[in-house]
A = this chain, B = another copy of it.
Amino acid sequence: VEKGQKRITSADVARASGVSRATVSYVLNNDPRQSIPSETRERILRVAQELGYHPFTPARILRTGHSQIVLAVLQLELVDPKIAGLLKNLEVALAERGYSLIWYVGWPDRSDGIHLSANLTPAVIVSLVDESDPAISSFLQQFNVPIVQLENDSFREMAGKTQARYLIQQGYHHLVFASPDRRDLQKLAMERLEGVRQGCAECSLDMPFVQIVPHSRKEAKEAIRDLLSQRTPPFGICCYNDDVAIAVIAALSDAGIRVPEAVAVIGCDNIPLAQFINPPLTTLDFDEKQLLDLLIENIFAANQGRPMQESTPISISIIARGSA
């Protein structure tokens, strides 16, 4: 595409095939209310092809008044294979209905530069970010379109509670919560922790000890050393996610602690690499189908101005491997 080259419009196609722009539009959009003779139809299609005509999206959107774009807003750090797979399936489901899913991945805390909303008008936003952060919240508001959340607080609490229940059921009566050190993950981490707390409370156990585990092997090792100076095995560690769990297992191994005999470790998300750890990671998995159906329902509800569904409970399953 050369710069300065003129755009090919439906008027060009109309002229070249000897019909009006209306007819071109009817044919190209397969308008069911018009019956175009197949001879004309084919000619138009052929000419459009020859000319390399592509309708100019903004004009169409301006005319119809709405784009068919769903924008997923997420943070780099949360794009685990699980979420990515869910979004991929969402994309397929949306495509069947004529919608397209695109991702915005970034840190909206940057105040200079241009705003994405100046370049893009989605129909709906799917938010996977922490909306309690004012910067993020105002970033989302700018688009002035409905916002649907992927996961909510109660879902994350349930995950923490499930970890705790499992560990308790396995006979660990002292629990630790291993939290990542990223500041931007703290809110999500606190929600998981709250679930772990509830799990402990159910069984009248002491509240979990919270240990931050940095994402470098050396610092993770020190963190675990700290932890061991405060708590004596046996105990169980509920990890924020599988990444944290893998760091914890590595650090435990460095410290010569046996997993799961002395310390049990449970992750969350069931990332593909979880099976390759020694011992293989015990972790949580979600029913993606349920989550997806709820999400799609809410997207279309939001887009049509209907109220969103209350989040139905999503089933969480435990993938028991070697670490707990």
Give per-residue flags for A187-216: 1 if the beta carbon is below 8 A from chain B beta carbons, else 0.
000000000000000000000000000011
A88 is an interface residue with CB less than 8 A from chain B: yes
A224 is an interface residue with CB less than 8 A from chain B: no
A104 close to B106 (CB less than 8 A): no
A4 close to B84 (CB less than 8 A): no
Give per-residue flags for A55-73: 1 if the beta carbon is below 8 A from chain B beta carbons, else 0.
1111111100101110100
Give A174 Cβ to nearest chain B Cβ, in Å.
Answer: 25
Known A3-B304, A113-B92, A305-B3; contact A118-B57, beta-carbon cutoff 8 A: yes
Known A79-B84, A96-B112, A98-B114; contact A276-B304, beta-carbon cutoff 8 A: no
Give per-residue flags for A244-272: 1 if the beta carbon is below 8 A from chain B beta carbons, else 0.
00110110010000000000000000001
How many protomers of this protein does the assembly include?
2
Chain A contacts with B in 1-55, Cβ cutoff 8 A = 1-4, 7, 52, 54-55
- Per the bound structure, the CA–CA distance linking A117 and B246 in Å amounts to 41
Give A244 Cβ to nearest chain B Cβ, in Å.
Answer: 11
Give A262 Cβ to nearest chain B Cβ, in Å.
Answer: 18
* Residues of chain A at the chain B interface (Cβ within 8 Å): 1-4, 7, 52, 54-62, 65, 67-69, 71, 76, 79, 81, 84-85, 87-88, 91-92, 95-96, 98-107, 110, 112-114, 116-121, 142-146, 215-217, 220, 243, 246-247, 249-250, 253, 272-273, 275-278, 280, 304-305
